[in-house]
Amino acid sequence: MIVNNLFLTPVFLPILAASIILIAKSFLPVKARRFCEYLGIIIGLLLPIVIVLLLYPEVINNGSLSIIIGSYTPKIGILYNFDSLSLVMIVLTNLLTLPAWIYSRSAGPSHSYFTALLLLQSATIAGISMTCDIFNLFVCLEVMGLVAYVLIASKQEKSAVFAAFNYMMYSSSSMVFFLLGSFGLYRLTGSLTYQEITKTLVTLSAKEQNLALICLLLMIVPILLRVAIMPLSGWLINAHSKAPHAVSALLSGILIKIPLFILIRVFSISPMMQNLTLVLSYIGSATALIGVLLALSQSDAKKLLAYHSISQIGYIVTAWSLALHYGIDTTLGAVLLIAALFHAFSHAIFKGLLFLSIGTATDAAGNRDVYKIRGVNYMLRQKGEKFPLTMICFFFGALSIMAIPPFNGFFSKTLLTYYIKPSINYTILNIASIGTIASFIKLSRIFLPSKEMKKPIKELPTAKFPISIHLSLIILASLALLTGIFAKEILKLLENIFISTNLKSIKYSIFFSKSNILKTLYTGLVGIFLFIIATSKYGSKILHKLRSLKADFTDQYVAFAITIALLSWFLLV
Amino acid sequence: MNKRRIFKIFLTTFIISFTILPIILSNSSWPTLARDYLFMHAFDETGASNTVSSIYLGYRLIDTLGETLVLFVAITGTMSILLNLHKQVLQGVETQSSLPPEKRAKNALRTNLVEVVASKLGPIILLFGLYVMLYGHKSPGGGFQGGVILASAIVFLALSTVVKTKLTNSNVLSRIESISFLSLILVTTYVVFFPNGFFRNIATNNSFASATMIIILNIMIGLKVGTSLAVMIIAMMGGQHDY
Amino acid sequence: MIIERILIFLIFITGFIGLISMKNIIKKIIGLNLLSSSIVLLFILEASRIGDEAPFLDDKVQNIVDPIPQALMLTAIVIGVCVTALSLAMAVRLYKTTGSLDITIIKERLENDC
């Protein structure tokens, strides 16, 4: 009956909305098309959030809801399983697509296919988070990837097309490996559903089990490529920096995190995958550090933000892999998972805010070079912005990523670094935080006054700053502030979802304890010191050398092969 | 091709082949569970004697939906990259799909012979495409295959100057595409949310109208795929499109 | 038995080497096509070993091959075609704006413009 299947609506409603937009394009005049786009966004993005939140009590009480689509036999049909992780993913995706879409109404790609593609992306992300079938995962990952390639290339300028081409070649060839892995698994076990594969895998001989582990690894590495941890992140720099601003916000916010949380399900196919989790945590923290170092050396503002995306995803991967290492059923593992989810959520908000505000600023300045632009406020006022809202929103985002209270970055980074305390990852992540502060001080220099500001402003009579840019920036900035102020309540909610016992496990006193505040001050001071070193003559030379390191197309595949070799070594030996 | 590059390529290929060779050359027997189940039950549960159709339109319908979305996104992307889609052209543009005489001198491959033969072949291929689309439940074929043949038939009709038909008009084609996409989504949603509803009952209880669900899905997929591919190729050929 | 699989492996390696080492982007796209075609062939070949006849349920048919990989490969082929079409469109656009199909020359020209 329909009530049992209600959790499938986040997949079908956005596709329905996209088809309504298509019909409006073919049949109706231009004004009605705009109305249908708004209608499509309400049906496709907001209505699924409402439905999923209505299902929240049932998921808490009964565990997960699952169904085989079409009610066929479990041997052949596709199983969809809706649990708490899927709920969080769907709410995250739909909520964060909204500001990017609002921004794009005036400054981004404005043809109506853009809205349809955003809705299709949200539908496939809902599908990925609920599916329990490896071939369905393949199809949904390919759709998600294709939407990303088309969205990056929609800016029509040649560097964006080249970035999309590079990403497409790299990602599609790795999905061929995914298909090969699923071939091996189907041959060995005769089924495509995760649970059936797990059951059959234990009955196989040792040699076949090793083969199955290699196949599972070949399925995992392409998903790790989409997450962009360090050896596999060659595509992200160009893809996120050359895309239109709304698309960059979407890509950094949503598309690099969803595959990571789906890996939890894929990892659960075989218990031998636990061997990989410790290695992945070291790779994650190395990613965080190297990302920040390379970010410090960049001169292009959007490339700097893209390297910061790599670094922050390193934080999330470290917490996630340690959560799997201790086991999600244990309290420590569940708390680490909550930390990873909360940091993913905060990162999506503040990185979206940063991309949109820096995008607006560099559009007004006409130039992206961080060393050259000064006095952006003046240029924004020339474009018609009366109140320096872009600068304020940029500072909200920068203070969040630098982990300054009361913004959400402070709470998520503290939670994350506190619970990974007894390992070397803790030290590396702290060093990465210092680097983050230094590079954001460097980035905010674009708002320093310049000589031009002494001249009077030539008021263009019809210069009107688009309201949708301000609206999207206000939404994201207020979310950054509110999720920081109400962080305790949000964390309590996540605890309810993921930890099944009644013990309250997160010590809320760690946020404002003396040691934490001292640590924040200390990190800030060393960050300022690092910034001063980095802009001195000796530091600039080192950074210039770092900036000129280049990786070409073949190197990406060398990194891919080395990752497979490294992870298979740790898996089988 | 310096030595470092050759070394990198060799290293990559060596690691990759070392990893995939055991999978390709493994000798474990192929599982027969699925085949046995389908041999017994596929006809009763879906009404199609082509088991491949019963899988991808019955048991694994979501995969087919994903595949249709892949096609839609790829065609949208290809058209926008090739045709500068971001300019909003107001409506009222007439569409021409065949080559006007003044361009013919530059385009040496579009001879009169091609146009006359294409105009004769077009309707035959259209009929064949419709046959492949409609008979997907009994013989090899189905929505995607028939749709591609339909697209090539429409392109043949567009290549000719002799035939004047509305079928090569981009507006008409995009209208058919959007209607078939919407009805495909509606039928899929209905089949998924009401698994024991109208279509399944007809398929299992009524021998006259068995495989109704599969035939309807095939028709819609075929129309969607065919018309969208045709719109893209006609746009590339020079027929204008209103955005 | 085994010679067919070795040949499929050779097609895979050819496609892979073409993808990573050729400088012309059209050759890279052909390499990607070869990669996915080899996997499709592998699925269909291996699935056909357990039966004799095509998977149609007529009266006289007794031993059909496994139809699931065939249905899965329909989807995989369509996805491969879509990726090829999109990448060829991007190649055309890159050629029109930079004047070359060689990936190193395209990168240089794009950097000089930015």
- Please give the full DSSP string across B16-73, using - where no structure is assigned: HHHHHHHHHT--PPPP-HHHHHHHHHHHHHH--SBHHHHIIIIITHHHHHHHHHHHHH
| pLDDT at A451 (0 to 100) | 64
- Output helix, strand, coil percentages for chain B, rounded to the nearest 5: 70, 0, 30
| pLDDT at B243 (0 to 100) | 38
Q: What is the pTM of this model?
A: 0.93
What residues of B are in contact with residue C85 (Cβ under 8 Å)? 74-75, 78
A312 vs A285: CA distance, rounded Å: 10
A64 vs A62: CA distance, rounded Å: 6
B31: left (phi over 0), alpha (psi -120 to 50) or beta: beta
A217 vs A186: CA distance, rounded Å: 14
| pLDDT at B97 (0 to 100) | 44
How many Cα atoms are found within 13 Å in the side-chain-facing hemisphere of A265?
24
User: Mean pLDDT throughout B56-60?
Assistant: 88
Instruction: Assess contact for A115 and A10: CB atoms under 8 A.
Output: no
Taking 80 as the threshold, does the pLDDT of residue C95 lie above it? yes
Which of A95, A269, A293 minimizes the C-alpha distance to A184?
Answer: A269
CA dist A344 to A316, A412, A420, A447, Å?
7, 9, 16, 28
3-class SS of residue C102: strand
CA dist B43 to A214, B15, B137, B199, C48, Å?
37, 46, 10, 14, 21
Stronger pLDDT, A26 or B206, i.e. the higher one: A26
What residues of C are in contact with residue A169 (Cβ under 8 Å)? 19, 28-29, 32, 87
| pLDDT at B105 (0 to 100) | 55
pLDDT tens for each residue of A148-201: 999 999 877 878 999 999 999 999 999 999 999 999 999 999 889 999 899 998
- Domain carrying residue C46: 2-57+65-113
Return the residue of B nearest to A113 by Cα: B76
Which stretches in chain A have pLDDT values below 50?
1
Which of A560, A567, A570 minimizes the C-alpha distance to A177?
Answer: A560
Taking 50 as the threshold, does the pLDDT of residue C10 lie above it? yes
Cross-chain Cβ contact C50/B35 below 8 Å: yes
Q: Among A12, A75, A554, whose Cβ lies nearest the Cβ of B8? A: A554
A218 vs A204: CA distance, rounded Å: 19
Cross-chain Cβ contact B12/A558 below 8 Å: yes
Neighbours of A56 (CB within 10 A): 15
Residues with Cβ within 8 Å of A538's Cβ and at least 6 positions away in sequence, in order, are none
Tell me which H or E stretch contains A82: strand A79-82
pLDDT tens for each residue of B60-84: 999 999 999 999 999 999 988 887 6
A15 vs A18: CA distance, rounded Å: 5
pLDDT confidence band for C33 (50 / 70 / 90): very high
| pLDDT at A452 (0 to 100) | 59
Tell me the percentage of chain B whose pLDDT exceeds 90. Answer: 34
A347 vs A257: CA distance, rounded Å: 10
What residues of B are in contact with residue A81 (Cβ under 8 Å)? none
SS (HEC) of A408-442: HHHHHHHHHHHHCCCCHHHHHHHHHHHHHHHHHHH
The DSSP line for A28-64 is S-HHHHHHHHHHHHIIIIIHHHHHHHHTHHHHHHH--
| A135 touches B at CB < 8 Å | yes
Question: Residues A324, A325, A329, CA angle at the centre, nearest 5°?
Answer: 55
C51 vs C65: CA distance, rounded Å: 4
Return the residue of A nearest to C17 by Cα: A554
Q: At C19, which amino acid appears?
A: L
A463: left (phi over 0), alpha (psi -120 to 50) or beta: beta
Instruction: Assess contact for C26 and C101: CB atoms under 8 A.
Output: yes
**Which class for A550: exposed (0-12), middle (13-18), buried (19 or more C-beta within 10 A)?**
exposed
Q: How far is CA A300 from the centre of its chain?
A: 21
Neighbours of C100 (CB within 10 A): 14
Taking 60 as the threshold, does the pLDDT of residue B240 lie above it? no
Least-confidence region, from A199-208, A448-457, B130-139, C19-28? A448-457
Instruction: Assess contact for A138 and A182: CB atoms under 8 A.
Output: yes
| pLDDT at B201 (0 to 100) | 61
| pLDDT at B179 (0 to 100) | 93
Stronger pLDDT, A458 or B156, i.e. the higher one: B156
pLDDT confidence band for B88 (50 / 70 / 90): very low
Instruction: State how many domains chain C has.
Output: 1
pLDDT confidence band for B92 (50 / 70 / 90): very low
| pLDDT at B149 (0 to 100) | 95
Any idea what the CATH number is for the domain that residue C39 is in?
Answer: 1.10.287.3510
Disruptive mutation site among C5, C9, C13, C19 for chain A (greatest number of A CBs within 10 Å): C19
Taking 60 as the threshold, does the pLDDT of residue B141 lie above it? yes
Which of A123, B149, A538, A115 minimizes the C-alpha distance to B140?
Answer: B149
| pLDDT at B129 (0 to 100) | 94
**Would you say how long chain A is, in residues?**
573
